[in-house]
Amino acid sequence: MRILVVNPNTTASMTARIGAAATAAAFPGTTILAVNPAMGPASIEGYYDEALAVPGLLEEIIRHQSEPAGMEGAGIDGTVIACFDDVGLDAARSVAAGPVVGICEAAMQTAGLLGGRFAVVTTLQRSVPALERLAERYGVAGRCRIRAAGVPVLALEDPGSGAVERVRAEIRRAVDEDGAESIVLGCAGMADLARALGQETGVPVVDGVSAAVKLVEGLVSLGLRTSKAGGYAAPLPKAYAGELARFAPPAVV
């Protein structure tokens, strides 16, 4: 089984950490291909970054699933979108051949299986409204509190930034003040912290990258893929103008 893990931002070092977490979670027979687009924001922090990350994300999915046999991306069975905003998830499901899972949906649904209330600890306050909307979409809003640690995404790349300490402190507050029975790490850049933080806090700590990989493995093993009978049908052929001309749907049908 081959799973494409797309980090929608352009920071290659973060992609490497995400890929390592995905590989650690995968079954021995699963190959993880972790990639990021060549165009787009260095990090995704808010609606503007999210919108401008979508074209690069889609380009990576389309490019890898269309590669001929023998090439690196050939034979992709499923895809993980490794941004906690679930950037471009619906559009990705419209163009991908196999199942596509976003790490926010995977993590929230996993946390819901582990206890009653849970908290999401994310990076900056500006990300909270988007994650609250996703909690509503995924049916967990009544059980979920979104907390921001006040940490820029790229600070997670800097061991001297104090970012991990801030995340750790926010987790403790979620457990003590919110009665959180489990914690979701609300950024793909936190993927390598889950095991240690879980041991420290005594509650389950869910990393969305790992959860999404396991969900994709399960869907592929069951022979299931995204339905094309409704909203996730392939895009209709039409002309696209200007810089988006190369995204015209005939290229992906």
- List pLDDT tens digits, range 23-52: 999 999 999 999 999 999 999 999 999 999
Task: Determine what percent of the chain is predicted with pLDDT higher than 90.
Answer: 89
CA distance 30 to 103: 18
Per-residue pLDDT band at 69 (split at 50, 70, 90): low
Mean predicted confidence (pLDDT) in 66-76: 66
Query: In the structure, what pLDDT confidence band is assigned to residue 65 with cuts at 50, 70 and 90?
Result: confident
pLDDT digits (tens, 9 = 90+) for 73-111: 568 999 999 999 999 999 999 999 899 999 999 999 999
Q: Is-same-fold flag (2-102+211-251; 104-209)?
A: yes
Say which CATH topology domain 2-102+211-251 has. Answer: Rossmann fold (3.40.50)
Q: For the beta carbon of residue 165, count every other beta carbon within 10 angstroms.
A: 11
* CATH number, domain 104-209, options 1.10.3720.10, 3.40.50.720, 1.20.120.80, 3.40.50.12500: 3.40.50.12500
Find out whether 133 and 146 touch, Cβ atoms under 8 Å.
Answer: no
pLDDT band at 253 (very low <50, low <70, confident <90, very high): very low
pLDDT mean over 229-235: 94
The reported pLDDT for the residue numbered 155 is 94
Cα 239 to its chain centre, rounded Å, is 30
Parse the chain into domains and list their residue ranges. Answer: 2-102+211-251, 104-209
Q: In the prediction, which pLDDT does 39 show?
A: 97
Predicted confidence at residue 218, as pLDDT, reads 98
- pLDDT per position as a tens digit, 105-145: 999 999 999 999 999 999 999 999 999 999 999 999 999 99
Q: How far apart are CA 163 and CA 92, in angstroms?
A: 31
Say what the pLDDT of residue 66 is: 77
Q: pTM score, two decimals?
A: 0.93
Residue 198: what are its φ and ψ, rounded to 5°? -65, -40
90 residue type, one letter: D
Stretch 183-206: mean pLDDT:
93
